[in-house]
Amino acid sequence: MEAHLLLEARLPMLGSATDFTYKWCVNMGLERDDAARMALATDEVLTDILLHGYKNESGYIEIWFQYTFSEIEIAIQEKGEPFDPEKYRYDPEKAIKDHDFEGAALMTIRKMTDQFLFLNRGKDGKEFRLVKQFTSSHIKDMLPEHLDPEDLDEPEPDCDYLLTPATSEDAEDIAKLIYRSYSYTYSKEDLYFPKRIETAIKHEYKFGTIVRTESGGPAGYFAVIKSTDSMIGEVGEAVVSPNHRSRGLMKKMMNELIKMSNQRGLKGLFGMASTFHIISQKVNDKFGFKSTALILAKSPQKLYKGMTSETSEIVSVVMDFLPLTKLWKKPVILPEVYKDILSEVYAQFTKQNQTISSADPAASGTDQTDLGLTINYETQNVLITVKDYGKTFETSCLRLFRSIEELNLNAIYIDLPLNDHRINNAIKWLKEQEFIFSGLMPLFHHENDFMRMQKIMAETDFDKIKTYTDIAGKLKEIIKQEYNAIPKK
Amino acid sequence: MEVELPGDFNLNSVRMISEELGDRRNLHIDLSHAHFVNSKAIIFMHKFMFGEKNGKIRLKNPPKLFYELLQTLGLHTTWNLDEIVEP
């Protein structure tokens, strides 16, 4: 589970903070040596902040502990005096000869982590991000040679299937199923690592169902990945073994997942369907999902086993949404410039209450701009979540953009809450910064609706983006027009 | 002076040891409860051993990361670990 520490910037808190870091990392599945490395890197950052950022002044330091299926990220934020940890380069010769150890802390941090980022957000503070990836065995190294993917082409005789909730003990079977069905081509790499699956199920980051044959062999798996900041989940992992296909297993699993999601109180499910082909979009449509956004450059190139069409360089996705509550309401404020398309998106959800939300928009705005940043290192994109527009929206965004300039990004996404009239000015300004429309992200953060805009740095070929539903086609046309209107450098 | 650290060898421990140390030239530190020794602690020990004081340090049960960090900072050949680390 994610954790957040608010610490007074004083020397005695160092030990408690690093003790917690070590224990949290071990609990989330890092090997003990790697957990100690993260604790040491955290200690070095905190020590530097105390010595150079706050010196003898009082202040606070916030630490966010974040988990994904492939890595641990620790984000340390503070607002002390400006200092640049990257200014000094460590030189061992100077250390030995002159006892000059400048840069030793940074050298230590870099060595102990897989990735270290220093984000200078000016008046909004400084941020240090430490990342460590999980090291665990790939399923291929755990399988005997005779379990080759090609062995599954012959259909097995029809039999009774048993659906049960997936537990952490099913992790190895799930990884086997993925490997034997897709070889190396499944888009979510984490599913090839049993330990990662085990940890994610154990900590309830995902839940799902597994189908077994009468003899106990795994035939299918389907899971929901829970959002970390809203009561919704992504139907993100699905597989049916090739020799058990066309027997309605996907439908049975999806119905089971909807039941499980309702039991857990989720308010909606979403799917990010690849636009490389329309198969996933068709499946989502069949189960009542409705298209709400088109997200460009979502992940790097993927190859799909059994698909004959050519590969695209960057995969874009259609966001499909299935509400699980009838109480979900259209928000009070829809931005003028996208009012028509957003109204059309909302109109698809005929089973939901079509009246607008009664929340008072004026009450929701504060003076302080508050932006959250999520970096997806694997897919080379970032998501900025606007928690409050505040009075310094533009300058805070600019500082944030500058701080992430050095990352080699394919896309920047920004989610704008639909609860404040200031969204109109925000959109106008973001368009000047070459952001374009993406669509509606329903109940996406803290059970509130957001509108997503996107800035795409990767070359996008719209001819390779396939859409299935009418609304996805309309979204594509608007986005294509805006994309083409941006002067190419 | 003999010290048994209750946790990691960090800046806090460095300051506490420095305050107590005075003119003493021999320092024995038990690191059995430490997961790591940080760069400030390494610098402190380096200056203690190779600076004006020319002190002697003995370490009991240093964690694995101590050796890793010493190598990272390029000090592993300068420090005589056979003398410093208790067998």
Strand partners, A77: A62, A127
CA distance A130 to chain B (A): 16
Q: What per-residue confidence (pLDDT) applies to A310?
A: 43
Mean pLDDT for all residues in chain A: 89
CA distance B52 to chain A (A): 11
Q: What is the mean pLDDT of residues A159-181?
A: 92
Share of chain A above pLDDT 90, in %: 69
Instruction: Identify the residue with better confidence: A19 or A1.
Output: A19
Rg, chain B, Cα only = 12
In A, minimum Cα distance to B74 occurs at A92
Query: Between B12, B47, B65, which is nearest A36 by CB?
Result: B65
- Contact between A21 and A119 (Cβ < 8 Å): no
Query: Between B40, B51, B72, which is nearest A111 by CB?
Result: B72
In A, minimum Cα distance to B38 occurs at A40
Residue A64 is classified by DSSP as E
B2-4 and B26-30 strand pairing: parallel
Instruction: Identify the residue with better confidence: A436 or A302.
Output: A436
Which residues of chain B does A39 touch, with a Cβ-Cβ cutoff of 8 Å? 8, 35-36
Q: What per-residue confidence (pLDDT) applies to A181?
A: 86
Q: How far apart are CA A169 and CA A173, in angstroms?
A: 8
pLDDT in tens, A42-69: 999 999 999 988 887 889 999 999 999 8
pLDDT in tens, A70-101: 899 999 999 888 777 777 899 999 999 999 99
Q: How far apart are CA A235 and CA A223, in angstroms?
A: 6
Q: Is the pLDDT of residue A421 over 70?
A: yes
Q: What is the mean pLDDT of residues A129-139?
A: 89
The b/e string for A18-56 (b: 16+ C-beta within 10 A; e otherwise) is bebbbebbbebbbeeebbbbbbbbbbbbbbbbbeebbee
Q: Where are the beta strands (DSSP E) in A166-212?
A: 206-212
- The verdict on a CB contact (< 8 Å) between A104 and B12 is no
Q: How far apart are CA A74 and CA A65, in angstroms?
A: 5
Q: What per-residue confidence (pLDDT) applies to A149?
A: 54
Q: What angle do CA A344, A233, A366 make, to 5 degrees?
A: 70
- The verdict on a CB contact (< 8 Å) between B39 and A12 is no
Q: What per-residue confidence (pLDDT) applies to A354?
A: 59
Which residues of chain A does B47 touch, with a Cβ-Cβ cutoff of 8 Å? 99
CA distances to A229, A236, A413 from A233, in Å: 10, 9, 19
Q: What per-residue confidence (pLDDT) applies to A309?
A: 42
Query: Between A18, A93, A101, which is nearest B43 by CB?
Result: A101
Cβ contacts below 8 Å, chain A against chain B, sum to: 87
- The verdict on a CB contact (< 8 Å) between A39 and B8 is yes
3-state percent breakdown (helix, strand, coil) of chain B, nearest 5:
40, 20, 40
pLDDT in tens, A373-404: 999 988 899 999 999 999 999 999 999 999 89
Q: What is the mean pLDDT of residues A301-315?
A: 53
- Contact between A238 and A219 (Cβ < 8 Å): no
In one-letter notation, the amino acid at residue A106 is: L
Q: Is the pLDDT of residue A348 over 70?
A: yes
Q: How far apart are CA A191 and CA A272, in angstroms?
A: 17
pLDDT in tens, A441-458: 999 999 999 999 999 999
Q: For residue A301, what pLDDT band results from cuts at 50, 70 and 90?
A: low
Whole-complex ipTM? 0.97
Q: How far apart are CA A99 and CA A241, in angstroms?
A: 63
Tokens representing B45 are 């020990």
Q: How far apart are CA A371 and CA A386, in angstroms?
A: 5
Q: Where are the beta strands (DSSP E) in A145-205?
A: 162-165
pLDDT in tens, B32-83: 999 999 999 999 999 999 998 899 999 999 999 999 999 999 999 999 999 9
Q: What per-residue confidence (pLDDT) applies to A365?
A: 57
Q: What per-residue confidence (pLDDT) applies to A86?
A: 73
Question: Which residues of B, range 32-71, sit inside 8 Å of A by Cβ?
Answer: 35-36, 38-40, 42-43, 46-47, 50-51, 63-65, 68-69
Residue A411 CA, distance from chain mean position = 13
CA distance A200 to chain B (A): 26
Q: Is the pLDDT of residue A312 over 50?
A: no
Longest dimension (CA), chain A: 77
Which residues of chain B does A92 touch, with a Cβ-Cβ cutoff of 8 Å? 73-75
Kindly state whether A462 is in contact with chain B, defined as any CB-CB distance less than 8 angstroms.
no
Q: How far apart are CA A377 and CA A37, in angstroms?
A: 20
pLDDT in tens, A187-207: 788 899 999 999 999 999 999
**Mutate which of A47, A49, A89 to test chain B, going by most B C-beta atoms within 10 A?**
A47
Q: For residue A468, what pLDDT band results from cuts at 50, 70 and 90?
A: very high
Q: For residue A307, what pLDDT band results from cuts at 50, 70 and 90?
A: very low
**Mutate which of B9, B10, B37, B49 to test chain A, going by most A C-beta atoms within 10 A?**
B10
Q: For residue A467, what pLDDT band results from cuts at 50, 70 and 90?
A: very high
Share of chain A above pLDDT 70, in %: 91
